[in-house]
Amino acid sequence: MAEKSRPGGRTARVRAQILAATVDLVAREGVAGFRYEEVAERAGVHRASVYRNWPDRDELVVEALAQYAARQVPFPDTGDLRADLVEFLLGQAAELAEPVGRALENAVSNSESEAVKRTVRRVLDRRLETVRTRLERATDRDELQAVDPLFFAHLVAGPAHLAHMHGVAYGRAEAERTADVVLAGLRATSTTRHSREERG
């Protein structure tokens, strides 16, 4: 898909309104569930503005989601892995409550478009790189033995996603419990593995 030029003024505002409306509707209806008429109504524009700029539904969804590709849930580095992980988990939980978080989840689960899936993967890959960088620093400081970042991400993200799916609150207490269980489990596994290796 050829990259579009970046318009300014009123045109830029209209495009931003349309993209924001698309994210809201994908969050609510999924990729296949929303209609252009709904996008136009929610954005407060004529539907011709939507069709003219994005004649293809997938292009509209891709551009709406791609604007969040550089957005990151921060994984702080204060030198305290547990405290930093808690803040990271709270950031993830907060995003799940926002339209963009729900839109990304819906795009993963119910889109057949490869372009949409590639865009979502790009967002998630950037987040995984954030996790990888923080884990490498933790390993360098002997806070944690080396662990696969994707495995780690699955471990820590699961409770927040499940809580969101069931409409259960996920706050600091839950994030602290998740961090404690995951870190304790990884450290215990590492200790057990080293003990087995020493016994030969």
Q: Are residues 119 and 60 in the same domain?
A: no
Q: Are residues 44 and 132 in the same domain?
A: no
- Is 72 part of a structural domain of the chain? no
- Is 4 part of a structural domain of the chain? no
pLDDT value at residue 10: 65
Q: Which residue has the tokens 């795009």?
A: 107
Instruction: Among 43, 66, 89, give the residue marking a domain's end.
Output: 66
Number of domains composing the chain: 2
Specify whether the CB–CB gap between 100 and 26 falls below 8 A: no
pLDDT in tens, 28-67: 888 877 889 999 999 999 999 999 999 988 899 989 888 7
Q: Are residues 111 and 195 in the same domain?
A: yes
Q: Are residues 62 and 92 in the same domain?
A: no
Q: Are residues 110 and 36 in the same domain?
A: no
* CATH number of the CATH domain containing 138: 1.10.357
Mean pLDDT in residue range 78-101 = 91
Q: Are residues 117 and 191 in the same domain?
A: yes
pLDDT in tens, 181-193: 999 999 998 655 5
- Is 137 part of a structural domain of the chain? yes
Q: What are phi and psi of 147, to 5 degrees?
A: -140, 145
Kindly give the interhelix angle for 149-165 and 81-96, rounded to the nearest 10 degrees.
Answer: 50
* CATH number of the CATH domain containing 48: 1.10.10.60
pLDDT value at residue 3: 43
Q: Are residues 90 and 187 in the same domain?
A: yes
* CA 145 – CA 152 distance, rounded (Å): 12
Which sign does the torsion angle of CA 192, 193, 195, 200 carry? positive
- Residue 129's pLDDT band (boundaries 50, 70, 90)? very high
Question: Which structural domain range is residue 115 located in?
Answer: 81-199
